[in-house]
Amino acid sequence: MTHDQSFTNQKFKLVGSRVNRPDGVDKVTGRAKYGADASAPGQLVALFLRSPHAHAKIKKLDTSKAEKLAGVKAVITSADLPDHTAGAQLDVLENCMARDRVLYDGHAVAAVAAIDKETAKKALKLIKVSYGKLPHVTDVDEAMRPGAPLVREDIFTRGVDPKPTEPSNVCKVSTFGHGDIEAGFDEADVIIEKSFKTEQTHQGYIEPHACLASVGPDGNGELWVTTQGHYTYRTVCAALLGMDMAKLKVTSSEIGGGFGGKTHVWIEPIALALSRKANRPVKAVMTRDEVFKASGPTCSTSMDIKIGAKKDGTITAGSAHIRYQDGAFRGQWGQLGAMTAFACYDLKNVQSVGYDVLVNRPKVAAYRAPSAPMAAFGVESTMDLVAEAIEMDPVTLRIKNAAKEGTRASYGPTYGPIGIGPTLEAAKNHPHMRAKLKKNQGRGMACGFWFNFGGQTCTDINISADGTVNLTLGTVDVGGSRASMSLICAEELGIPYDQVKANIADTSSLGHNDTTEGSRGTFSSGMATIFAAREAIEEMKERAAQTWDIPVEEVEWVEGEARAIGQKNDNLPPLTLKDIAARAAATGGPIAGHNEVVADGAGVSFASHICDVEVDPETGGTRIIRYTVIQDAGKAINPDYVEGQFQGGAAQGIGWALNEEYIYGDDGRLQNAGFLDYRIPVCSDLPFIDTEILEIPNPNHPYGIRGVGETSIVPPLAAIGNAVSNAAGVRMTHVPMSPPRILKAIEEAEA
């Protein structure tokens, strides 16, 4: 069946209401089961031995003593794993377990499964590794210098002409844009050129990676795991271990935060391999130290931004060169960053270049709108400098250059209806903009963009005999999507919200669903739910027609019931969903609706943030005084949770802007792998975070949904950067703007 995906502008009964989530009681009573909360009879405990070096050859690895220890049931090194050196999965498996050299502090070299933690700990101590240290590099700019230590010897930069003949740490150069930037800069009255840096941060989900793996000698396996994409984990783990996908059942536990960090496999393939070797269930849980060192934080960056404008505020050209460190494994982060850098603006001449650079740090993973916050920090800070130079209000400057419907985006496509203009207008008119500032306080604003994703999605609706409805979803619920999907399902069927029960299926019970990433959950599962419900409605209309013995064309579905249309059918009282469900056995059997779709047409999303800060000139400490998020949701299905996404993204951005950073020593080792020294914002650091939801429907979704999860982390670095710069009277160019950096900037400005 083909479905009309376009926006219908229907009036909603349920969608848009603030309902309680169906998993709420489980989560406030401690009953909800997360990754580390499942156990199996006879389970073993897995622990990992990790490299203490940033870069070294593994000269010798001897596990024989550990294997002989009583209670140890399996030991795994890369020698036990298939060699994917030539294949697409090389990076993945080599990151899970080092092959012949370790590439970062924390890189796994061996794993053991034992009857309890004590025994496993003893076994790790019995493993002998002799390392031959190699020169390392952890800074992105240093990694690009000629003569820098090579993280890998087989990297020849892609995306440059001619193709290089020497290996380097630059994997890829990605260039986007259009027009003639040189001509554009020639037209400018002012040109601002500035360099910026951002440090590496971690998603900081409170739940560490955890799983329970069980594989038998018959090749059947099960994996219970905290993940954003259990289907993806199945695909990857099966490929890595040579298992049949259909024989590996992956169940996603409740997930204690992911923000992109639970889109890749880390310990899971190794837990499966240990279980297969021991023929016992194996539980593996990362410590917080391991999460910081050996999961996937986001990139640090360094960049040069140049913007030229006329005195009237017209931007004549913009260019960005942004260098992203990918850790020790190839990524696409430079490419994404280059695409997002100027996406908010309607520019005649624009060029953005992203560099993907290897260093001896953990493999970078996605972190909420990956790569966009850093690019926005550079561009939006420079926009404020342009505004200052031409003596124009920064919001007015942005409004004047904002992209609109029909604008050719800097990364290629032409925009449909979009929300950047409206969010900027809303910011300009917001009472926050007119609030009085006190001494040492400053205000800043910035805007941001994220693409939003669609992708493969599959959903089932099954109607029970009593008329209650099971909605079976395959997109992991990372923050309340079961409620939103139930609302959508109830809306389509015309029944109360409470009549629907949403579940997340395991990989054996429903077809493939792409990972919940890219803000795709509500957009794509919402679409599949709508179409599945419509299919169920068609079926129910058939059943009603059969009951009434009239052609199905004379049946319509209104407000949760089948109605016979036309005067001749006046004597037929409506049949409700419950009536039809009760008679299902007699009219053709169970009633279901199903949909599988590649959800196309994700709607781009924009946000504008306003922030007031107070900077203590003595200590360099910054307090957030007031914060406002304005974002286009397309359509807010459950506004409480849309606001929650806005607030959560802003809070993460605040941490990134002011505090959070990976600190590496000269030895290439991470010095602050814990929540004490890597400090994320706590309750007393923040004010209430005000939100304003705009709804500019996405024409490619029946309900107008765009997706809301990520854009909220894009503007904060720049909004806070602009606010701090205004409060301290000196331009901040290095994130996080920690007290020492602010003091140094003030001192340098005074000198």
Q: Which does 37 bind (CB under 5 to 8 A by kind): another protein, ligand FES, none?
A: another protein
Identify the residue among 114, 375, 636, 650 touching another protein (CB under 8 A).
650
**Whose Cβ is closer to ligand FES: residue 34's or residue 415's?**
34
Residues 358, 360, 365, 369, Cα dihedral to 10°: -60
Q: Which CA distances in Å does 265 have to 94, 97, 269?
A: 11, 11, 7
Sheet holding 591-599, edge to edge: 500-504, 469-473, 455-463, 591-599
CB of 206 to ligand FES, least distance (A): 4
Q: How far is the CB of 676 from ligand FES (least distance, A)?
A: 10
Interaction pattern, residues 548-567, with another protein; x per rule: CB under 8 A: --------------------
d(CA 257, CA 605): 22
CB 257 within 8 A of CB 516: no
| Given 15, 36, 307, 527, the residue binding another protein (CB under 8 A) | 36
Residue 208 touches which of ligand FES, another protein, none (Cβ within 5-8 Å per kind): another protein
Q: Which is nearer to ligand FES, 355 or 641 (CB)?
A: 641
Partner residues linked to 622 by β-bridges:
615
Closest separation between CB of residue 256 and ligand FES, Å?
Answer: 6
Min CB(225)–ligand FES separation in Å: 17
Of 24, 179, 257, 639, the residue at the interface with ligand FES (CB under 6 A) is: 257
Smaller CB separation from another protein, 479 or 697: 479
CB 695 within 8 A of CB 605: no
Q: Using CB positions, name the residue nearest to ligand FES.
A: 206
Q: HEC string of 86-129? A: CCCCHHHHHHHCCCCEECCCCCEEEEEEECCHHHHHHHHHHCEE
What phi, psi does 615 have (nearest 5°)?
-110, 125
Q: Which does 281 bind (CB under 5 to 8 A by kind): ligand FES, another protein, none?
A: none
Q: Minimum distance from CB of 116 to another protein (Å)?
A: 6
Q: Binding to ligand FES by residue 71, rule CB under 6 A?
A: no
Q: Which residue number, 622 or 652, has a Cβ lying nearer to another protein?
A: 652
SS3 108: strand
Q: Which does 255 bind (CB under 5 to 8 A by kind): ligand FES, another protein, none?
A: another protein
- Could you give the CA distance from residue 504 to residue 524 in angstroms, rounded to a whole number? 14
Q: What beta strand segments (E) does 635-685 contain?
A: none
- Tell me which residues in 646-675 interact with ligand FES (CB under 6 A): none
Closest separation in Å from C-beta 291 to ligand FES: 12
**Residues in 317-356 that interact with ligand FES by CB under 6 A:** none
CB-CB contact of 524 with 600 (8 Å): no
CB atoms within 10 A of CB 489: 29
- Window contacting another protein (CB under 8 A); options: 25-33, 172-180, 185-193, 340-348: 25-33
686 binds, among ligand FES, another protein, none (CB under 5 to 8 A by kind): another protein
Rounded to an integer, what distance in angstroms lies between the CA atom of residue 210 and that of residue 79? 24
The two structure tokens encoding residue 392: 């124009």
Is residue 644 involved in binding ligand FES (CB under 6 A)?
A: no
> Of these, 79, 160, 206, 749, which contacts another protein (CB under 8 A)?
206
Q: How near is the Cβ of 687 to another protein at its closest, in Å?
A: 9
- Per rule CB under 8 A, is residue 497 in the interface with another protein? no
Binding to another protein (CB under 8 A) within 661-690 occurs at: 674-676, 680-686, 688-689
Give yes or no for residue 478 binding another protein (CB under 8 A).
yes
- Is the bond preceding 162 in cis, omega lying within 30 degrees of 0? yes
To another protein, the closest distance from the beta carbon of 418 in angstroms equals 26
CB of 204 to ligand FES, least distance (A): 9
| Distance between start and end Cα atoms, the chain | 71
Smaller CB distance to another protein: residue 332 or 691? 691
Query: Closest Cα to residue 670, out of 42, 15, 54?
Result: 54
Q: Which is nearer to ligand FES, 289 or 425 (CB)?
A: 289
Tell me the C-alpha distance between 199 and 659, whole Å.
10
Order of all β-strands in the sheet with 622-632: 441-450, 605-615, 622-632, 689-694
Check if the beta carbon of residue 513 is closer than 8 Å to that of residue 475.
yes
Per-residue tokens: 414: 């032409």
Nearest to 338 by CA among 303, 309, 362: 303
Report the site for another protein in 83-122 (rule: CB under 8 A): 116-118
Least separation in angstroms between CB 645 and ligand FES: 12
DSSP state of 247: G
Closest CA to 257 of 692, 670, 523, 644: 644
Partner whose footprint covers residue 454, from ligand FES, another protein, none (CB < 5 to 8 Å by kind): none
Region binding another protein by CB under 8 A among candidate stretches 34-42, 97-105, 357-365, 558-566: 34-42
Compose the 186-205 pattern: x for residues touching another protein by CB under 8 A, - for all others.
-----------------xxx
Residue whose C-alpha is closest to residue 223's, from 233, 237, 212, 232: 212
Residues 263-292 that bind another protein (CB under 8 A): 285, 287-288
- Given phi > 0 = left and psi -120 to 50 = alpha, else beta, which region is 183? alpha
CA distance 461 to 57: 54
**How far is CA 513 from each of CA 229, 369, 457, 573, rounded to the nearest angstrom?**
8, 20, 5, 40
Whether the CB-CB separation of 291 and 50 falls below 8 Å is answered with no
The answer to whether 125 contacts another protein (rule: CB under 8 A) is no
Upstream peptide bond of 135 is cis (omega within 30 degrees of 0): no
Residue written as token pair 């029946």: 702
415 contact, one of another protein, ligand FES, none, CB 5-8 Å limit per kind: none
Min dist CB 257 to ligand FES, Å, is: 5
| Helix residue spans in 498-603 (DSSP H) | 526-548, 577-582, 584-587
Rounded least distance, CB 451 to another protein, Å: 22
In terms of CB distance, is 160 or 206 closer to ligand FES?
Answer: 206
206 near ligand FES, judged by CB under 6 A: yes
Q: Which residues contact ligand FES (rule: CB under 6 A)? A: 206, 257
Residues that bind another protein (CB under 8 A): 18, 20-21, 23-25, 27-34, 36-37, 39, 116-118, 203-208, 254-259, 285, 287-288, 478-480, 640-641, 643-645, 647-648, 650-652, 674-676, 680-686, 688-689
